[in-house]
């Protein structure tokens, strides 16, 4: 039996009668036979390392956009995709994740404590083992593409910055593999930035996760170049906004982060309630970004989500699941 929680428009939780469920902030995952993994991307939105709300169509955009990008980059590195049986679900290779998140940046930006801009404005110049020059402008070019890794925090924790030297010294990833991961990350970023530019967006930064398959081979896992894992800025308005001292127009979750920040929220305690318009705008922008990047039309998946998922996932679950809709 499958059960879902959410509103009429959003899916915020889904439970399936399979053992071993692992809940991330955005995804629900279950191990499947044959070294596979079922990943369902919900509509939950996380920021400040916690879930703060739900965005209509978000799970579908993330799942389908990632699948599209994995296809566009499979010549650079192997990835975990096996099949996409539902707009919100992925059958993936169950990999052993590397214990770091690989963040790649071309711009001095960000609003969270691990981001570059707040620390740079605070006077810090040595960040993640890189020495930044004086005189860089907020949201402006870094002049080079930087890899700024973080540790992958356990549930409830916060990801912490870590330098390349520490990654190797602490034995989190061995030196040869880390060199390969960095080369792959830069190649992915270059590909992503080029495709984004063709669609009228600047890829300011992004996060990659890697894992090892059963043979110990490197593969790209999780999500790829989505508006959750990346900052995408509208090129059309970028220069004018920066000249006017405004923040870039982001087609990603940064506007939600900024709205929470503007309401005085820093990640602790009860989050403030945001204007519903912020959530609707985020949904519209996720869909617009999907269409611009892929050149595909976004067709919203049929509702209720749980009935659709039950049908589409039946071949992977064994037996005959019955649908129930809970709200």
Ligand X SMILES: Nc1ncnc2c1ncn2[C@@H]1O[C@H](COP(=O)(O)OP(=O)(O)OP(=O)(O)O)[C@@H](O)[C@H]1O
Nearer to ligand X, 78 or 238 (CB): 78
CA distance 51 to 196: 27
Q: Please, what is the minimum distance in Å from the beta carbon of residue 42 to ligand X?
A: 8
- Phi, psi values for residue 184, rounded to 5°: -65, -45
Q: Which of 35, 71, 97, 318 binds ligand X (CB under 6 A)?
A: 97
Closer to ligand X at the Cβ: 59 or 192?
A: 59
Assess 211 for contact with ligand X (CB under 6 A): yes
Using the rule CB under 6 A, which residue among 29, 202, 256, 305 binds ligand X? 29
Which of 167, 186, 189 has its CA nearest to residue 178? 167
DSSP lists the bridge partners of residue 83 as 91
Nearer of residues 58 and 120 to ligand X, judged by Cβ: 58
Strand 81-86 and strand 141-147: the pairing is unpaired
92 is a site residue for ligand X (CB under 6 A): yes
Q: Does residue number 158 form part of the binding site for ligand X (CB under 6 A)?
A: no
Structure token pair of residue 110? 């960000």
Please report where in the chains the tokens 């992958």 appear, as a residue. Answer: 152
Residue 154 per-residue DSSP state: P
286 DSSP 8-state letter: H
Of 110 and 120, nearer to ligand X (C-beta) is 110
Rounded least distance, CB 78 to ligand X, Å:
11
Residue placing its CB nearer to ligand X in the complex, 46 or 182? 46
For residues 132 and 231, which CB has a smaller minimum distance to ligand X in the complex?
231
210 - beta bridge partners?
A: 220
β-sheet bridge partners, residue 146: 105
Indicate the residue among 94 and 120 with the shorter CB distance to ligand X: 94
- C-beta of 132 vs 227, nearer to ligand X: 227
* Number of residues lying near ligand X (CB under 6 A): 17
Distance CA 57, CA 47 (A): 18
Q: Which of 4, 11, 16, 27 binds ligand X (CB under 6 A)?
A: 27
Shortest Cβ 24–ligand X spacing (Å): 2
For tokens 């692992």, name the residue: 22
Nearest CA-CA partner of 44 in 3, 99, 4: 4
Query: How many angstroms separate the Cα of 203 from the Cα of each of 179, 190, 191, 287?
Result: 23, 9, 10, 17
Is 254 a binder of ligand X (CB under 6 A)? no
User: CA 290, CA 311: separation in Å to the nearest integer?
Assistant: 25
Q: Is 25 in the site for ligand X (CB under 6 A)?
A: yes
- The torsion angles phi and psi of 318, rounded to 5 degrees, stand at 75, 145
Among 77, 221, 256, 287, binds ligand X (CB under 6 A): 221
Chain residue whose CB lies nearest ligand X:
24
Stretch touching ligand X by CB under 6 A, among 24-32, 140-148, 275-283, 318-326: 24-32
DSSP secondary structure, 64-111, as one string: HHHHHHHHHTTTTS-B-EEEEEETTEEEEE--EE-SEEEEEEEES---
Contacts of 63 (CB under 8 A, 6+ apart): 41, 84, 87, 88, 89, 90
Binding mask 62-81 for ligand X (x = CB under 6 A): ------------------x-
Region binding ligand X by CB under 6 A among candidate stretches 93-101, 103-111, 115-123, 318-326:
93-101
Q: Which of 43, 86, 205, 209 binds ligand X (CB under 6 A)?
A: 209
Residue number, 46 or 111, with CB nearest to ligand X? 46
Positions in the binding site for ligand X (CB under 6 A):
24-27, 29, 37, 46, 80, 92-95, 97, 209, 211, 221-222
């Amino acid at each position: 039996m499958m059960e879902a929680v959410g509103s009429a428009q959003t899916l915020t939780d889904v439970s399936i009668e399979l053992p071993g469920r692992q809940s991330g902030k955005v995804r629900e995952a279950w191990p499947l036979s044959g070294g596979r993994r079922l990943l369902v991307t919900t509509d939950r939105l996380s920021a400040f390392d916690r879930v703060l709300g739900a965005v209509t169509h978000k799970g579908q955009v993330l799942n389908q956009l990632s699948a599209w990008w994995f296809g566009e980059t499979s010549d650079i590195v192997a990835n975990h995709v096996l099949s996409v049986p539902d707009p919100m679900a992925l059958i993936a290779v169950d990999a052993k994740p590397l214990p770091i998140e690989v963040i790649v940046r071309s711009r001095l930006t960000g609003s969270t404590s691990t981001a570059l801009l707040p620390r740079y404005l605070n006077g810090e110049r040595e960040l993640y083992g890189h020495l930044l020059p004086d005189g860089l402008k907020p949201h402006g070019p870094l002049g080079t593409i930087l890899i700024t890794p973080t540790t992958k925090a356990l549930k409830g924790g916060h990801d912490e910055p870590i330098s390349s030297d520490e990654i190797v010294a602490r034995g989190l990833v061995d030196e040869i593999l880390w060199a390969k991961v960095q080369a792959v990350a830069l190649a992915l970023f270059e590909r992503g930035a080029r495709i984004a530019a063709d669609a009228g967006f600047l890829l300011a930064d992004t996060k990659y996760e890697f894992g090892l398959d059963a043979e110990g081979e490197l593969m790209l896992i999780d999500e790829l170049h989505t508006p959750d894992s990346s900052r995408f800025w509208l090129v059309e308005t970028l220069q004018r906004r920066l000249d006017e001292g405004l923040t870039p127009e982001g087609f990603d979750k940064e506007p939600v982060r900024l709205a929470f920040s503007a309401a005085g929220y820093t990640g602790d305690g009860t989050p403030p309630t945001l204007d519903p318009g912020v959530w609707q705008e985020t949904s519209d922008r996720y869909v617009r970004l999907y269409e611009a990047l892929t050149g595909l039309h976004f067709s919203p998946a049929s509702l209720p989500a749980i009935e659709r998922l039950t049908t589409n996932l039946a071949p992977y679950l064994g037996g005959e699941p019955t649908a129930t809709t809970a709200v």
